[in-house]
Amino acid sequence: MHNVKKIGIVGAGQMGGGIAQVGAVSGFEIRLQDTSAGVLDTCRGSHKKRLGRLVEKGTLSQDDADAALDRLTYTERLDDLADCDIVIEAVIEDAALKKELFQKFAAMFTHGQILATNTSSISITQIATAAGDAADRVIGMHFFNPVPVMKLVEVIKGLATSQDTTSRTLALAEAMGKTPVPANDRAGFVSNRVLMPMINEAFYAWMEGVAEPAHIDQIMTLGMAHPMGPLRLADFIGLDTCVHIMDVLADGLNREHYRACPLLKQLVTAGRLGDKAGRGVFDHPG
Ligand code: CAA
């Protein structure tokens, strides 16, 4: 049983915005915080558009879409999240920034609230050190992009995470319409430990001239029934994010075998970061 009515989310980027949308549609009150008014405005616009699309497609009634939008509150002030029953952090993958936030969360949320992070690879145990005595309430709640579409939430226990925190998090993810799957706290957890080496290997295959990028992806979509080829998926995730996760894997698992492919790093150096930059492995105009 999760006992959550109000969810606080920190970070209104693609992940935070997606989690907010899913939470609101599932009936939770959402307070979405970001330090940038511009990011919050973009997120509000995207929620209206995406919920409108669901109404057009007949997936959601107009009344339910209106009710979901009413349950969403956008704020620049972290203090506005103080009466939430759980906080989910979804800021950029920066360990120092996350630790600064979890130190604040420990002081703000003193009534047993869950302190969750949507990190894709940073150690939960490391983030939890910033929460002091509240470390038993820190847990990983790893959503996948696009959040409204992907069913999985990888739930990661840190060394100090209590069983009560884990049980309540699993129940909450289910109440949000997701399928939670538990994993332990090792670099990259399960998802990125398995996914990223495949993506990295696709870059090596391209670099060594085994096949053209489009053909590498075609082989994996048609032969393995992946919805996107590994190189298209790397653009979707962000090439800089892929390099960052590979670094976390190499350092955390102590194996050079996880280092990012030189070609992948070169594209990042050239600013070809994927969809968000308009160009990565492939061109993404508009
Ligand atoms: N937000 C919400 N809904 C979206 C969306 C978005 N950004 N993008 C697509 N959708 C929805 C569409 O509305 C559509 O819904 P309906 O079927 O109900 O109409 C559905 O998804 C399919 O979309 P499209 O027909 O436009 O395109 P598609 O069939 O090519 O699917 C995709 C797009 C869902 C992204 C699909 O290509 C896919 O599943 N790709 C793999 C995504 C993946 O692997 N994600 C995990 C990335 S790793 C990660 O997130 C974690 C990490 O730590 C790095």
**Domains in the chain, number:** 2
Task: Decide whether any atom of ligand 1 lies within 6 Å of the 55 Cβ.
Answer: no
Task: Decide whether any atom of ligand 1 lies within 6 Å of the 58 Cβ.
Answer: no
**CA dist., res. 21 & res. 31, Å (int):** 11
Residue 173 lies in a domain: yes
Residue 144 lies in a domain: yes
Q: What is the mean pLDDT of each run of 10 residues along the chain (286 residues)?
A: 92 97 98 98 98 97 98 98 98 95 98 97 96 98 98 98 97 98 96 98 98 98 98 97 94 93 98 97 93
Report pLDDT for 286: 77
Q: Tell me, yes or no, whether 144 and 103 share the same domain.
A: yes
Q: What is the DSSP string of 182-214?
A: EEESSTTTTHHHHHHHHHHHHHHHHHTTSS-HH
Q: Which residues contact 251 (CB under 8 A, 6 or more apart)?
A: 187
**CA dist., res. 101 & res. 65, Å (int):** 31
Q: Which residues contact 265 (CB under 8 A, 6 or more apart)?
A: 243
CATH number for the domain that contains residue 241: 1.10.1040.10
Residue 11 lies in a domain: yes
Atom of ligand 1 nearest to the CA of 241: 54
From ligand 1's centre to the CA of 227, what distance in Å?
Answer: 9
Q: Tell me, yes or no, whether 11 and 112 share the same domain.
A: yes
From ligand 1's centre to the CA of 17, what distance in Å?
Answer: 15
Q: Whose CA is nearest to atom 23 of ligand 1?
A: 149
From ligand 1's centre to the CA of 113, what distance in Å?
Answer: 31
Q: Whose CA is nearest to atom 34 of ligand 1?
A: 149
CATH number for the domain that contains residue 90: 3.40.50.720
Q: Tell me, yes or no, whether 14 and 77 share the same domain.
A: yes
Report pLDDT for 80: 98
Atom of ligand 1 nearest to the CA of 14: 7
Q: Tell me, yes or no, whether 209 and 105 share the same domain.
A: no
Report pLDDT for 119: 97
Q: Which of 149, 221, 224 to mutate to test the pocket of ligand 1 (most atoms within 8 A of CB)?
A: 149
pTM for the model stands at 0.96
Q: Tell me, yes or no, whether 263 and 172 share the same domain.
A: no
Q: Tell me, yes or no, whether 74 and 100 share the same domain.
A: yes
Final residue in a domain of this structure, among 152, 184, 216: 184
Q: Tell me, yes or no, whether 267 and 160 share the same domain.
A: no
Final residue in a domain of this structure, among 161, 184, 207: 184
Atom of ligand 1 nearest to the CA of 191: 53
Give the domain range for residue 45: 6-184
Q: Tell me, yes or no, whether 42 and 160 share the same domain.
A: yes
